[in-house]
């Protein structure tokens, strides 16, 4: 097993900067998700760690070894990509055995490792089948089993569940989490799906424009986003942001007054489920435009002043479009954002 150190890694493709200087340290056995919108550099960073792409500057250390100049096969890692290649002409057993055979493992070790990985991924009963006779989810598990069978120190995964339907993704997510915990594998997992990152990772590195903008536990990323971008990208519905002005250390918004960290223009951030509905006069004024019953809750979309906000109310709530309500906020569950920089005020 091994930790990973990414030290000031940058990448340009011609004149285009794909990665600014990125530094990231992943502990032995830790699961880190790289999360961000399309084009933010997630795949490029993963390919550099894998050795499939050469960084323009910086280095990659796995365990104690600087692997920056090593070939992928010399780095002691395994990969599972979005378009997982299972070999159609090989049985599931031979697919799972593939990496071991490439490494020249003897038959006894191949047998033992294939059965161990197959048991972890619950594919033992399919070992003699060919991939054509498997479902998409079963094929995906074969690809993961093949990666785990070599007992890699490091596992790199790039959107490995994106080809699966919603229910299967949910099942595989839970399965992957427990399998990798059990194996103690250091994992870096690329996704643009924030629920997947929240559910799987010990820590999430949120990427934007070739930078890591925040790296922390899913809970902290969710409740204390470092920037407006992170608050808006993580969580469904996204965090709400309301423009206001603070004077003499507080911001007055309709019927509520909140202590603010600085005077002048400032943005209030809060989560839709942290607002309690109250009457218009005693809360933050909220005009409902759409009320959507979601089953588990009622999703209200409307305006606070000129800003759009989404509020999560109990499913039993009866509210019509056009209603003027008030929102009560818990001051410990809000953030303040600097409108110039988009960054959260420290301690807010
Ligand atoms: N081989 C390449 N040549 C030129 N530009 C590239 C190359 N590979 C990636 N890029 C650019 O680098 C940037 C980062 O791409 P990357 O694939 O790492 O993003 P991503 O976050 O993984 O996106 P996605 O989720 O869409 O895969 C993008 O602007 C992309 O167009």
| pLDDT value at residue 258 | 95
Atom 16 of ligand 1, residue of closest alpha carbon:
41
Domain 237-337 in this protein, CATH class: mainly beta
| Substitution candidate for ligand 1 out of 15, 18, 38 with most atoms within 8 A of CB | 18
Q: Is 200 helix (H, G, I), strand (E, B) or coil?
A: helix
Query: In angstroms, what CA-CA distances link 194 with 30, 144, 252, 312?
Result: 18, 21, 33, 18
Distance 6 CA to ligand 1 centre (A): 18
Distance 301 CA to ligand 1 centre (A): 34
> What are the residue ranges spanned by the domains of the chain?
4-228, 237-337
- Read off the pLDDT of residues 143-188 as tens digits, 9 standing for 90 and up: 988 988 988 889 999 988 877 778 878 887 888 888 888 888 999 9
Atom 13 of ligand 1, residue of closest alpha carbon:
18
Residue 47 CA: nearest ligand 1 atom is 18
- Which residues have any ligand 1 atom within 6 Å of their CB? 13, 16, 18, 36, 38-44, 192
| Substitution candidate for ligand 1 out of 42, 193, 213 with most atoms within 8 A of CB | 42
Distance 41 CA to ligand 1 centre (A): 6
CA 338, distance to chain mean position in Å, is 25
| pLDDT value at residue 347 | 64
CATH topology of domain 4-228: Rossmann fold (3.40.50)
Distance 149 CA to ligand 1 centre (A): 30
Distance 197 CA to ligand 1 centre (A): 20
Atom 22 of ligand 1, residue of closest alpha carbon:
43
Decide: 124 and 114 in contact? Cβ < 8 Å. no
- Read off the pLDDT of residues 62-85 as tens digits, 9 standing for 90 and up: 998 999 999 998 998 988 877 667
| Substitution candidate for ligand 1 out of 11, 12, 13 with most atoms within 8 A of CB | 13
Q: Which of 26, 24, 28 is nearest to 41 (CA)?
A: 24
Distance 221 CA to ligand 1 centre (A): 24
pTM (two decimals)? 0.89
> What is the complex's ipTM, to 2 decimals?
0.95
| pLDDT value at residue 180 | 86
Atom 12 of ligand 1, residue of closest alpha carbon:
18
Distance 23 CA to ligand 1 centre (A): 18
Distance 43 CA to ligand 1 centre (A): 7
Atom 26 of ligand 1, residue of closest alpha carbon:
38
Query: In angstroms, what CA-CA distances link 24 with 12, 55, 114, 228, 335?
Result: 18, 15, 33, 22, 26
Residue 40 CA: nearest ligand 1 atom is 21
| pLDDT value at residue 1 | 57
Strand order in the sheet with 57-62: 16-26, 4-13, 57-62, 65-66
Local structure of residue 345 (DSSP, 8 states): P
Distance 324 CA to ligand 1 centre (A): 45
User: Which two tokens mark 320?
Assistant: 């019509």
- The alpha carbons of the chain give a radius of gyration, in whole angstroms, of 24
Neighbouring residues of 262: CB distance < 8 A, sequence distance ≥ 6: 246, 336, 338, 345
Q: Which portions of the chain are predicted below pLDDT 70?
A: 1, 83-84, 347-348
CA-to-CA distance for 69 and 86, rounded, in angstroms? 28
Atom 30 of ligand 1, residue of closest alpha carbon:
39
């Amino acid at each position: 097993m091994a930790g990973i150190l990414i030290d000031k890694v940058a990448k340009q493709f011609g004149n285009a900067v794909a990665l600014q200087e990125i530094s990231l340290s992943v502990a032995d056995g830790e699961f880190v998700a790289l999360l961000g919108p399309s084009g933010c550099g997630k795949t490029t960073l993963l390919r550099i760690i894998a050795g499939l792409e050469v960084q323009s500057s910086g280095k990659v250390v796995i365990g104690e070894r600087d692997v920056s100049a090593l070939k992928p096969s010399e780095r002691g890692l395994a990969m599972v990509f979005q378009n997982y290649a299972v070999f159609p002409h090989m049985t599931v057993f031979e697919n799972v055995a593939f990496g071991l055979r490439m490494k020249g493992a003897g038959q006894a070790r191949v047998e033992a490792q294939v059965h161990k990985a197959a048991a972890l991924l619950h594919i033992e009963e399919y070992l003699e089948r060919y991939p054509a006779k498997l479902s998409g989810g079963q094929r995906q598990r074969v690809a993961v089993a093949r990666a785990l069978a070599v007992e890699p120190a490091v596992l790199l995964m790039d959107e490995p569940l994106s080809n699966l339907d919603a229910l299967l993704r949910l099942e595989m997510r839970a399965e992957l989490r427990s399998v990798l915990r059990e194996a103690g594998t250091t994992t870096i997992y690329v996704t643009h799906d924030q629920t997947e990152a929240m559910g799987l990772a010990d820590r999430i590195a949120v990427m934007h424009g070739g930078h890591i903008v925040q790296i922390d536990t899913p809970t902290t990323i969710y409740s204390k986003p470092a920037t407006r971008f992170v608050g808006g990208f993580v969580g469904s519905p996204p965090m709400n942001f309301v423009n206001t002005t603070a004077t003499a250390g507080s911001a007055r918004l309709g019927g509520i007054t909140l202590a603010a960290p600085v005077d002048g223009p400032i943005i209030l951030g809060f989560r839709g489920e942290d607002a309690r509905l109250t009457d218009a006069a005693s809360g933050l004024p909220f005009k409902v435009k759409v009320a959507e019953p979601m089953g588990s809750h009622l999703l209200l979309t409307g305006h606070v002043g000129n800003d759009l906000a989404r509020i999560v109310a109990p499913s039993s709530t009866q509210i019509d479009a056009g209603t003027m309500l008030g929102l009560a906020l818990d001051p410990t569950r809000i953030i303040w954002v600097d409108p110039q920089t988009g960054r959260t005020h420290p301690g807010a």
